[in-house]
Amino acid sequence: MAHRQIAIDGPAASGKSTVAKLVAQRLGGFYINTGDMYRAVTRAVLDAGIDAENDPEAVVALLASIDLRYWLVDGVPVLHLDDAPVVQDSIRAPEVARVVSYVARIAGVRDWLRERQRETRALGTIVMEGRDIGTVILPDASHKFYVTASPLVRARRRLAQAGEVVDGATLASVAAEIAERDRIDSTRAVAPLRPAEDAIHIRSEEHTSELQSPNTI
């Protein structure tokens, strides 16, 4: 069967990872999470002591000294920063979430990641999730989906994800953080978060069993 490219976009904590992983599993495709790539760059930026909000030039300069790529490990794409696999705990930490949208609005960062994201097409069928996959990264994707959920559902989900929120976080504080990240992501000049014109919209609310019913795509 011909290789397929599936694009899955949507705002923070919308449930797109759950959908994307299931689709990849069903299709026997490779799951690529571009949010992890932005988060890994952000981790490197924080570790280098750079202020991403106010010093985008320093962020772009840092890129020359790092490498970030998906490598196949036992047949599964694993994101590597330089030669080490990227550890989820380190990129899902709340300090990364606070800064990642500032890193992701820098054109030089998006240019740098674009080719790294597109080169994963060589793997075969890919299911790629992010914010600009259907619009910019894989405009010719065979299938495009835009996954959303209500702000309340999204905040509840994020609050339930251990290690992703600061101690003492409340539903209101998490909802505000998500709303701010969505605001920056959808108003930036380059590749803003928005559905592709030909995307199928999916609302991912509480009835997760719906996601597990067989999907013909």
- Rounded Cα–Cα distance for residues 153 and 111 (Å): 32
Q: Does 39 bind ligand CDP (CB under 6 A)?
A: yes
Half-sphere exposure of 172 (CA within 13 A, CB side): 0
Q: Does 127 bind ligand CDP (CB under 6 A)?
A: no
User: For residues 86 and 104, which CB has a smaller minimum distance to ligand CDP in the complex?
Assistant: 104
Residues 6+ apart with CB under 8 A from 2: none
Q: Does 144 bind ligand CDP (CB under 6 A)?
A: no
* Residue from 6, 29, 34, 145 in contact with ligand CDP (CB under 6 A): 34
CB atoms inside a 10 Å sphere around CB 194 = 15
* Residue from 59, 100, 106, 141 in contact with ligand CDP (CB under 6 A): 100
Q: Does 43 bind ligand CDP (CB under 6 A)?
A: no
Tokens of 4: 């397929």
Q: Does 13 bind ligand CDP (CB under 6 A)?
A: yes
* Residue from 30, 31, 38, 112 in contact with ligand CDP (CB under 6 A): 38
Q: Are 33 and 117 in contact (CB under 8 A)?
A: no
Least distance in Å: CB of 216 to ligand CDP?
26
Least distance in Å: CB of 58 to ligand CDP?
18
Least distance in Å: CB of 96 to ligand CDP?
8
Hey, is 191 helix, strand or coil? coil
Task: Name the DSSP letter for residue 144.
Answer: E
- Rounded Cα–Cα distance for residues 85 and 189 (Å): 31
Residues that bind ligand CDP (CB under 6 A): 12-13, 34-35, 38-39, 100-101, 104, 130-133, 181, 185
